[in-house]
Amino acid sequence: MTTSWQPVTVRMLCGLEGLVGAHLAAGEAGLDQEVRSIEVVSTLASAESVPPGALVVAAPGETELVVLDMMLSAVRAAGAVGFVVTNGPHLVGSATRLAGKLGMPLLVATFKDPLQLARQLDRVVHAPELVRADVLSQLGRHLRRRHTEPGPVLDTLARMLSGQAGLISPVGAVLAGSALALPEGALTDPSPHTFPGAADGREGDLVLVPVVLDAQSGPDMWLAVQLPPGPRTWTTTAEQAAVLAASAVTGWAARRRLEGEREGRERSDLLSELLKKPNHPSRDLAESGLKLGWRMHGWHTGVHLRPTRSASNRRRLTEVLNAALGEQGLGGHLVERGEGWAFWATADREPAHSSHGDVVKPLRAALNSLSGEALLTAGVGRPRKGPEGLARTLTEARQACLLAGTGARSVRVAHIDELDLQQLLADWYSLESFQTYARQILKPLYDRGETQLIRTVEAYLEHESSASSTAARLGIHRNTVAERIARVESLLDVNLALPDHRLVVQLACRTLRFSDRQAS
């Protein structure tokens, strides 16, 4: 890969190689001068003969035997653009003041061998391809280790690139490594990209590489590298190194996903088996639950969650839902179950009767935080004791979840104790005789495939027969609502201005909607 030529400045070298952590004692005004060579001096005579554009490294042992400000004056007169010394008693205030007066960057670094430091810096200036090859080779050797975790990969990447590295979730949360400041919209482009550093030169480029397990669902994570100020060649090195590191993280993530899917199936199968025989769980079943961290004999509070519409990426939604629950302090067990998820928390003692708000409030906050990912409804059961109680509270939670989705709001959380009347209605809806009667009432609409009319009359009755509210809900004109309602009245032979007729049609609509949810 070829890159355009760019002058290497003193500022660009400050955060690279042996100058990581170097202190700028004076001469900030000269940081943007071009470095053409790296020279080592140990005597005043050698200082006088440095070429123009040189960054000068002073030998640590010898600089104590000479007057430092004389050497500074000499290299500046020769055209040097920077002076590097190691920390020691020779660094006196007069040299700092002189460097500032001359506009000469005076860098105080920690090094023992000036020749080694000079070779490192010279390769960055004159042989960036060799530096890149070294970085990629060393990183490749490190990544050949099997089952490399993200932490060591990020540490190695940050050390080799003299920067910071982090693993970022699609919503910007830090998963591993350093917490980095991301520009607005940084994660919208799913391809590898680089954001240029700050205009003041205090911060280098930001490299972002996606970690993709499923090409159809977009990046699962992002590998981000914040570089120090440096030449474009260093950014190119970082881009290639980050792609190499991202491939290792992809392998790790794929292994974790397989393990997670296997554990998810085991959890789901185990919960199904437990719910079938809650009164007498076998010894093997109890032991399997303990291995997963399930406590069978505490007080369980069950939650059932489901998406309002089919999720395109169920695995990803499970991960973000689990994270959202944890962020709200809802520690417990999340298990995929049918069309949704079962979740429960276990306590040693029976929770107070009025404590259901301690679950409902954070649960509502968790689901609202996921509104950008998916719209969910949730139901909460009563606290129940033991394995049998776990089955009962999850059954109550599922019933509450089905009822929670009957309102106009897309994201709702309902506790079973708040749904006594609705529970009675649900029992009524479940009666086969009433379901048959409901189908008979709405048969003229279903026979003609008038799904548009069915949705309209449902919304019309839910919004207290308000044409304006119904129109706003469905995104149509109120005159269209009036026309559809007139057609419904004609096909069903009812008058929705009459309370009894409205009640019968609304109960029929709700019954069939509830029946469809139970069937799904």
Q: Which residue has the tokens 């993280």?
A: 249
Q: Record the pTM.
A: 0.50
Contact yes or no for 81/94 (Cβ under 8 A)? no
Could you tell me which CATH class the domain 430-519 is placed in? mainly alpha
Q: What is the 3-state secondary structure (H, E, C) of 352-391?
A: CHHHHHHHHHHHHHHHHHCCCCCCEEEEECCCEEHHHHHH
> In 3-state terms, what secondary structure has residue 407?
coil
Could you tell me which CATH class the domain 145-254 is placed in? alpha beta
Residue 375 is given by DSSP the state -
**Domain range annotation of the chain:** 2-125, 145-254, 277-419, 430-519
Tell which CATH architecture fits domain 277-419: 2-Layer Sandwich (3.30)
Residues of the chain above pLDDT 90, percent: 10
Torsion sign over Cα 206, 212, 215, 216: negative
Q: In this predicted model, what pLDDT tens digit does every residue of 136-174 receive, in sequence order?
A: 888 888 887 655 688 888 888 888 888 899 998 887 888
**Measured between alpha carbons, how far is 222 from 56 in angstroms, rounded to an integer?**
40
Give CA 328 to chain center in angstroms.
16
Please state the rounded mean pLDDT for residues 369-390: 84
Residue 281: pLDDT band with limits 50, 70, 90: low
pLDDT of residue 517: 61
Please state the rounded mean pLDDT for residues 282-295: 74
Contact yes or no for 157/165 (Cβ under 8 A)? yes
> Amino acid letter at 293?
G
Give the up-direction half-sphere exposure of residue 443: CA atoms within 13 A in the CB hemisphere: 7
**Direct distance between the N- and C-terminal alpha carbons of the chain, in angstroms, rounded to an integer:** 54
Residue 431: pLDDT band with limits 50, 70, 90: low
**Measured between alpha carbons, how far is 380 from 405 in angstroms, rounded to an integer?**
13
**Measured between alpha carbons, how far is 39 from 46 in angstroms, rounded to an integer?**
9
**Measured between alpha carbons, how far is 104 from 258 in angstroms, rounded to an integer?**
58
**Does 432 score more than 80 pLDDT?**
no
2-125 fold: 3.40.1390
Residue 269: pLDDT band with limits 50, 70, 90: confident
Residue 407: pLDDT band with limits 50, 70, 90: very low
**Measured between alpha carbons, how far is 230 from 400 in angstroms, rounded to an integer?**
59
| Average model confidence (pLDDT) across the chain | 81
**Does 220 score more than 60 pLDDT?**
yes
